């Protein structure tokens, strides 16, 4: 009989540390991403957000601490292992090839072939149809899957990158500044996509400097400062001003003390 994992967080990070020589990049980072929720990770530049994400996704090995995925302790050795587990990351550069079409980007490194033995060919028809089906379910204003990426707007590119990540049976989608440099209408389109992924019960982790967006789309916000997680709140229970005070240290350490008291019950 399989254990019920419906209430188990998709991702749980406990006390992660990471040093690069004499530089302590992480000094006790915690994080929880519940299933079907949007979790925001915020902090000033150099707070440790990017290092934490790279440790989660197998880019960097962490020194101490634990990472649990669907309740199972893991230590990933590469982003390929992360993808195999259902962890997809959308970076700011989107990792889209501009001279390829939408469907070719969808199946990049996942190409479908037909035939036998050494005579296998790319099944273009199937990949085009599959791309259409996958993206139509997620995107309201879907660009033609035969269009080259270089002809798409910034919002369309971002939506394609997120849609690609979410369409591969992902359990957790990590997004780094998902709407940076987008216009108002394009940002709204991406935020609607984030809402649809939540409805599909996909856990999402968003790294963002846009606190207004965090207040709009996130369920929980986690604050990092100097390599450590110093606070976390349900967005409905916290003000933007209190988040800013925690990020900058203007709270006088109250957030860090609160986080220390909560550390033993971080799953809650």
Q: Which pLDDT band, with edges at 50, 70 and 90, does 139 fall under? A: confident
Does 125 fall in a domain? Answer: no
Phi and psi (nearest 5°) for 144? -60, 135
Q: How far is residue 254's CA from residue 252's CA, in Å, rounded to a whole number?
A: 6
Q: How far is residue 27's CA from residue 25's CA, in Å, rounded to a whole number?
A: 7
Task: Using DSSP, state whether 103 is helix, strand or coil.
Answer: helix
Using alpha carbons only, what angle is made at residue 12 by residues 108 and 51, rounded to the nearest 5 degrees?
Answer: 60
Mean pLDDT of 93-97: 83
Does 53 fall in a domain? Answer: yes
Q: Which positions ≥6 away from 204 have C-beta within 8 Å?
A: 33, 37, 38, 39, 172, 173, 174, 175, 194, 197, 198
Give the model's pLDDT for residue 100: 95
Question: Which residues form the domain of 212?
Answer: 11-95+171-265
Does 34 fall in a domain? Answer: yes
Q: Calculate what percentage of the chain has a pLDDT beyond 70.
A: 91
Q: What is the pLDDT of residues 31-65, one digit of tens each?
A: 999 999 999 999 999 999 999 999 999 999 999 99
Domain total of the chain: 1
CATH code of 45's domain: 3.40.50.300
Q: Which positions ≥6 away from 237 have C-beta within 8 Å?
A: none
Q: Which pLDDT band, with edges at 50, 70 and 90, does 202 fall under? A: very high
Pick the more confident residue, 224 or 141: 224
Computed over every residue of the chain, the mean pLDDT equals 88
Give the model's pLDDT for residue 21: 94
Give the model's pLDDT for residue 102: 95
Pick the more confident residue, 27 or 186: 27
Does 102 fall in a domain? Answer: no
Does 103 fall in a domain? Answer: no
Predicted TM-score of the model (pTM): 0.85
Does 201 fall in a domain? Answer: yes
Does 126 fall in a domain? Answer: no
Does 111 fall in a domain? Answer: no
Give the model's pLDDT for residue 4: 47
């Amino acid at each position: 009989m399989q254990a019920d994992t419906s209430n188990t967080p998709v991702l749980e990070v406990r006390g992660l540390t990471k040093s690069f020589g004499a530089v302590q990049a992480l000094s006790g980072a915690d994080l929880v991403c519940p299933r079907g929720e949007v979790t925001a990770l915020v902090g000033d530049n150099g707070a440790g957000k990017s290092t934490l994400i790279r440790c989660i996704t197998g880019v960097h090995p962490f020194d101490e601490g634990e990472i649990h995925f669907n309740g199972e302790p893991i230590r990933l050795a590469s982003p390929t292992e992360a993808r195999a587990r259902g962890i997809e990351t959308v970076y700011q550069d989107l990792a889209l090839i501009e001279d390829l079409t939408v469907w070719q980007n969808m199946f990049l490194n996942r190409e479908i072939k037909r035939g036998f033995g050494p005579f296998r060919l790319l099944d273009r028809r199937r990949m085009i149809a599959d791309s259409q089906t996958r993206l139509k379910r997620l995107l309201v204003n879907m660009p033609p899957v035969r269009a080259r990426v270089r002809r798409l707007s910034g919002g369309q590119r971002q939506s394609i990158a997120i849609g690609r990540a979410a369409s591969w049976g992902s359990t957790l989608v990590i997004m780094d500044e998902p709407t940076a440099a987008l216009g108002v209408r394009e940002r709204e389109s991406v935020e609607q996509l984030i809402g649809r992924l939540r409805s599909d019960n996909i856990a999402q982790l968003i790294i963002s400097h846009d606190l207004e967006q965090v207040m709009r789309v996130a369920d929980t916000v986690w604050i990092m400062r100097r390599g450590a997680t110093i606070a976390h709140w349900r967005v409905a229970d916290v003000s933007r001003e209190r988040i800013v005070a925690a990020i900058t240290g203007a709270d006088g350490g109250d957030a860090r003390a609160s986080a220390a008291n909560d550390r033993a019950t971080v799953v809650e």
